[in-house]
């Protein structure tokens, strides 16, 4: 799929994960996010290379994850199963597992899983409870598992914070974080809640903080279902304001926060594309010029023309698979009553900027980019990882972070798509990535990369496999259409 580092160079992933967020009134979005997340359990993984989440499945009453899916974002993985035996390789480390057995071997040495190992459809399932001891054998470094809350820290990644009350009138509670954060924020009478699912936030010395303020008496830290949660208790309505590049969150009475924000950020209008950022050298296919009505969905067949994408095999280019997937997805969406524009319905050149411009000009309620890959086992669903820091300055700031205000809805869409694909027993993973043009699209935007379930690339061209996946995507979009339709 060839996208890493094409946009911004090799900036540390962690620095990109959260970004400058100014004023936040996300009550509605946060509640939508919660309702779409559903009851499914998942494991959040934090590492220097990537932050991602994986579905947790239950076997014999215990929590399990796929080992291949877990380590695949972190290095080269491969697996072979013959009967009950499953051989797995991560970079140069080899493991051997047996279905139904609690003991495995890693580099020839015994490893105790505590619970049984399972092989299903060539997937090796390991108990979540074993990860803290098993993963260091493969990774050669520490893995810190918070088992009860489904959070896994690989290597030395953690975000700490302090909280202090400024006893002004009105009082302000100031959180300072060691790295930028981008939580979802919700409020209810008496409390403001910040949920950190993508940040490796760790607990303060005491989970309950008291401030001796009548307006904001206390805050507490908790963890659950793949996220850390900070709850601020207040006797008056409060709001969260983000500053210092996402490293500072100030909780203040709602009226005071609004006044401060109005003074500090007169230009805090929704981001819009900068026309000067659009190259004009590529020819424009006729079918995208004639957009006269608003389509609900814009489906983008990635690559095309001179850009072949990945060579999936000697005879198969990614650009051809993405067009087939795009047509299949259009059919699936339209059969559910969702008007759909396919951005590239021919073998045309279309730049990343042009793709974003068309999605934005059409005010699409959802933008879906399609990619294909020869390896990766199943489906990956991406949301934007917005540039942070130096990328945030300069004339194109609004273009490179155009996605900012829709990121919560994009994640809602990604979660819904992941859940539907899971229901069809296809391995699926949810990732943030600096994948253009997602960051340039102003509305909800996701990218979907389809790989064969095993090693047979021909599966990518099989209509039943394509339809299975696009049907799942369309079902997820249709089920949440009211949320996306309400997007700005």
Q: Which residues bind Zn ion (CB under 5 A)?
A: 1, 302, 309, 371
CB of 350 to Zn ion, least distance (A): 13
CB of 473 to Zn ion, least distance (A): 16
Q: Classify 434 as helix, strand or coil.
A: coil
CA distances from 197 to 52, 71, 194, 483 (A): 9, 19, 10, 21
CB of 303 to Zn ion, least distance (A): 6
> What Rg do the C-alpha atoms of the chain give, in angstroms?
23
- Using alpha carbons only, give the angle 338, 470, 426 rounded to the nearest 5 degrees: 145
Cα within 13 Å of Cα(410), Cβ side:
31
Residue with Cβ nearer Zn ion (383 or 480): 383
Residue with Cβ nearer Zn ion (430 or 475): 430
Cα within 13 Å of Cα(310), Cβ side:
19
Residue with Cβ nearer Zn ion (123 or 303): 303
CB of 469 to Zn ion, least distance (A): 15
Say if CB 111 and CB 133 are below 8 A apart.
yes
CB of 231 to Zn ion, least distance (A): 41
- Using alpha carbons only, give the angle 147, 105, 113 rounded to the nearest 5 degrees: 25
Q: Classify 375 as helix, strand or coil.
A: coil
Query: Under 8 Å CB-to-CB from 320, ≥6 apart: which residues?
Result: 347
CB of 371 to Zn ion, least distance (A): 4
Residue with Cβ nearer Zn ion (14 or 380): 380
CB of 1 to Zn ion, least distance (A): 3
For residue 116, how many other CB atoms are within 10 A of its CB?
18
Say if CB 123 and CB 198 are below 8 A apart.
no
Burial class of residue 39 in the structure, from the number of CB atoms within 10 Å of its CB (0-12 exposed, 13-18 middle, 19+ buried): exposed
By beta-carbon distance, which residue lies closest to Zn ion?
A: 1
Residue with Cβ nearer Zn ion (183 or 309): 309
CB of 373 to Zn ion, least distance (A): 7
Query: Under 8 Å CB-to-CB from 118, ≥6 apart: which residues?
Result: 59, 64, 99, 100, 124, 125
Residue with Cβ nearer Zn ion (53 or 302): 302
Residue with Cβ nearer Zn ion (1 or 152): 1
Cα–Cα distance between 136 and 286 in angstroms, integer?
Answer: 54
Residue with Cβ nearer Zn ion (73 or 309): 309
Q: Smallest Cα–Cα separation from 483: which of 382, 369, 361, 365?
A: 365
Residue with Cβ nearer Zn ion (1 or 297): 1
């Amino acid at each position: 799929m060839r996208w890493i580092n094409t946009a911004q160079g090799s900036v540390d992933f962690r620095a990109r994960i959260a970004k400058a967020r100014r004023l936040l009134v996300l009550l509605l979005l946060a509640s939508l996010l919660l309702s779409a997340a559903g009851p499914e359990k998942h494991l959040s993984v934090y590492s220097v290379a990537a932050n991602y989440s994986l579905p947790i499945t239950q076997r014999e009453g215990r929590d399990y994850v796929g080992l291949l899916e877990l380590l695949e974002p972190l290095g080269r993985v491969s697996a072979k199963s013959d009967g009950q035996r499953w051989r797995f390789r991560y970079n140069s480390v080899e493991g051997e597992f047996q279905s139904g057995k609690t003991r495995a071997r890693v580099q020839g040495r015994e490893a105790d899983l505590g619970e049984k190992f399972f092989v299903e459809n060539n997937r090796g399932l390991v108990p979540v409870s074993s990860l803290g001891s098993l993963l260091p054998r493969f990774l050669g470094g520490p893995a810190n598992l918070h088992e009860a809350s489904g959070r896994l820290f690989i290597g030395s990644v953690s975000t700490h914070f302090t909280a202090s009350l400024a006893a002004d009138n009105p009082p302000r509670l100031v959180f300072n974080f060691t790295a930028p954060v981008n939580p979802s924020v919700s409020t209810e009478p008496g409390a403001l809640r910040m949920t950190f699912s993508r940040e490796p936030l760790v607990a303060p010395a005491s989970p309950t903080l008291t401030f001796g303020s009548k307006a904001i008496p206390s805050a507490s830290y908790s963890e659950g279902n793949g996220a850390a949660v900070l709850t601020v208790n207040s006797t008056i309505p409060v709001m969260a304001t983000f500053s210092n590049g996402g490293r500072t969150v100030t909780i203040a009475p709602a009226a005071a926060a609004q006044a401060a924000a109005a003074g500090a950020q007169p230009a805090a209008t929704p981001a819009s594309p900068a026309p000067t950022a659009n190259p004009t050298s590529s020819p424009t296919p006729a079918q995208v010029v004639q957009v006269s009505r608003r389509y609900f969905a814009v489906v983008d067949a990635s690559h095309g023309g001179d850009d072949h994408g990945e060579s999936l095999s000697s005879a198969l280019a990614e650009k051809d698979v993405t067009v087939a997937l795009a047509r299949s997805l259009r059919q699936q969406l339209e059969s559910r009553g969702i008007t759909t524009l396919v951005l590239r319905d021919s073998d045309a050149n279309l730049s990343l900027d042009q793709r974003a411009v068309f999605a934005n000009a059409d005010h699409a309620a959802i933008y879906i980019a399609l990619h294909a890959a020869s390896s990766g086992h199943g489906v990956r669903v991406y949301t934007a990882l917005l540039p942070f820091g130096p990328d945030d300055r300069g004339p194109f700031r609004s273009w490179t972070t155009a996605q900012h205000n829709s990121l919560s809805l994009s994640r809602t869409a990604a979660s819904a798509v992941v859940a539907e694909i899971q229901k069809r027993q296809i391995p699926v993973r949810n990732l943030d990535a600096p994948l253009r043009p997602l960051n340039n699209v102003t509305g909800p935007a996701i990218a979907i990369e389809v790989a064969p379930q095993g090693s047979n690339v021909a599966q990518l061209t099989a209509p039943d496999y394509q339809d299975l996946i696009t049907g799942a995507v369309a079902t997820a979009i249709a089920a949440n259409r009211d949320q996306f339709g309400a997007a700005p």
